[in-house]
């Protein structure tokens, strides 16, 4: 009798446990997915302040703020500005940053910000406007010109910010050599020692607008928007000494005009977009370091947008995030996510009004878990001739903070 009771107790407890687990599972399943939240933080006022943000790179400084550039505004065609995580926008430099600063900036290990302008510097072979410059700026806004291009063998018209290699030297590209319309790759130290590493051939690709990214293998990877074996651009690998190997030549059916930087994801592969090609409105692609190329998604020009207009950013959730500039042939734009296996989702569609228009700047994932970006126009529609001077915005998709800054020193016993 007693033995029978001891045998039935566990089974009753097990039944209760199973019931509790079923309730728990049903409760978890009923939790809705996190709804992404778009928030406009700032209306660009136009010159002499920030005007038409359109930058290739955004850097998070040591103070936690995001730093980037606008090609217009300021007193001399361009500004450097910062955005705090809470959304406060401040112009850091609007007087000496150069002409047409579309590069944005990258952060050096010395804490300074590095970028380029397209038309600054002495005239060289480029006429009155200049052939472009490489500069560094302190977070307080003090600028130092490191190098002025001449338009000859060293190149001209740099669109992208140089990146710092593992050896502490910076590496970048120019769109062309003014006389020959041939792109170049260069290296430069933080003190301004400059070297031309490579002059691209038509077979390798031209119009190297995109910046470089250093892979975990130590090589640099990039893309050329035109030329290549088929005339539609290429993806290449370059050693630190400047030896270039073409990994893929676009055919238009698999993409066309890849003018944006690549990103190496946590799986070791590189991801990017083309502005056109595929089914006609651009593609999102994956390429391995050895050159195996895969189209992950063909943009449809409707709900998921068209003409990707900035590089991709990998979130802490493993997904890739980016923006397009067109929807239904109207220049409004979208924000999207895509997994490394190709599952695509439109997260936000711009109206072209007060929320912004034509988001050409890349998303920047701050260590607080939110994305930050900018649009070229829109916002306060009473400003600028084309309907607004642009906005700065944030996008919260539910990612948690993944870095906490702590004090580097303290008294004995402090944490």
Backbone angles phi, psi at 279, to 5 degrees: -80, 0
**In angstroms, what CA-CA distances link 224 with 58, 199, 203, 211, 214?**
21, 12, 10, 10, 16
The pLDDT assigned to 331 comes to 66
Give the mean pLDDT of 83-102.
Answer: 90
334: tokens are 């979208």
Rounded CA-CA distance 85/94 in Å is 21
pLDDT surpassing 80 at residue 241? yes
150: tokens are 């001449």
The pLDDT assigned to 4 comes to 37
Task: Report the share of the chain in percent with pLDDT over 70.
Answer: 87
The pLDDT assigned to 407 comes to 64
Q: Cα torsion at 117, 118, 121, 125 (round to 10°)?
A: 160
The pLDDT assigned to 128 comes to 67
Give the mean pLDDT of 27-35.
Answer: 45
Supply the pTM of this predicted model: 0.88
Rounded CA-CA distance 323/310 in Å is 6
CA-nearest of 326, 364, 389, 371 to 104 is: 364
Q: For 36-50, 81-95, 173-187, which range has the lowest pLDDT when averaged over its residues?
A: 173-187
Kindly indicate the confidence band of residue 16, based on its pLDDT and cuts at 50, 70 and 90.
very low
Average pLDDT, rounded, for the chain: 89
Rounded CA-CA distance 287/269 in Å is 6
Site of tokens 């050693």: 239
Reported as a single tens digit per residue, the pLDDT across 132-144 is 999 999 999 999 9
The pLDDT assigned to 103 comes to 95
Rounded CA-CA distance 330/306 in Å is 10
Give the mean pLDDT of 286-293.
Answer: 98
């Amino acid at each position: 009798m007693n033995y029978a009771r001891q045998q039935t107790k566990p089974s009753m407890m097990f039944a209760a446990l199973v019931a509790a687990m079923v309730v728990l599972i049903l409760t978890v399943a009923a939790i809705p997915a996190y709804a992404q939240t778009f928030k406009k933080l700032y209306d660009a006022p136009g010159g002499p302040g920030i005007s038409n943000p359109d930058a290739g790179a955004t850097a998070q400084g040591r103070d936690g703020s995001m730093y980037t550039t606008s090609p217009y505004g300021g007193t001399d065609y361009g500004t450097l500005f910062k955005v705090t995580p809470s959304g406060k926008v401040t112009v850091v430099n609007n007087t000496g940053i150069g002409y047409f600063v579309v590069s944005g900036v990258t952060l050096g290990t010395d804490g300074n910000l590095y970028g380029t302008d397209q038309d600054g510097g002495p005239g060289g072979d480029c006429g009155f406007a200049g052939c472009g410059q490489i500069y560094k700026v302190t977070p307080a806004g003090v600028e130092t010109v490191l190098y002025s291009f001449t338009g000859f063998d060293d190149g001209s018209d740099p669109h992208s910010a140089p990146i710092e290699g593992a050896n502490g030297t910076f590496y970048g590209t120019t769109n062309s050599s003014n006389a020959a319309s041939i792109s170049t790759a260069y290296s430069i130290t933080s003190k301004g020692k400059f070297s031309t590493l490579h002059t691209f051939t038509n077979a390798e690709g031209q119009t190297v607008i995109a910046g470089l990214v250093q892979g975990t293998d130590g090589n640099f990877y990039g893309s050329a928007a035109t030329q290549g074996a088929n005339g539609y651009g290429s993806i290449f690998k370059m050693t630190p000494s400047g030896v270039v190997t073409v990994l893929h030549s676009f055919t238009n059916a698999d993409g066309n005009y890849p003018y944006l930087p690549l990103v190496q994801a946590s799986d070791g592969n590189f991801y990017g977009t083309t502005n056109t090609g595929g089914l006609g409105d651009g593609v999102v692609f994956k390429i391995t370091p050895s050159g195996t190329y895969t189209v992950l998604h063909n943009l449809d020009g409707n709900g998921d947008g068209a003409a990707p207009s900035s590089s991709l950013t990998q979130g802490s959730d493993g997904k890739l995030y980016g923006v397009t500039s067109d929807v239904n042939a109207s220049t409004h734009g979208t924000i999207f996510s895509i997994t490394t296996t190709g599952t695509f989702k439109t997260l936000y569609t711009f109206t072209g009004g007060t929320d912004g228009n034509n988001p050409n700047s890349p998303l920047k994932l701050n260590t607080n878990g939110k994305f930050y970006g900018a649009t070229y126009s829109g916002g306060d529609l009473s400003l600028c001739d084309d309907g607004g001077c642009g906005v700065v915005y944030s996008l919260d998709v539910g990612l948690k903070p993944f870095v906490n800054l702590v004090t580097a020193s303290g008294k004995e016993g402090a944490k």
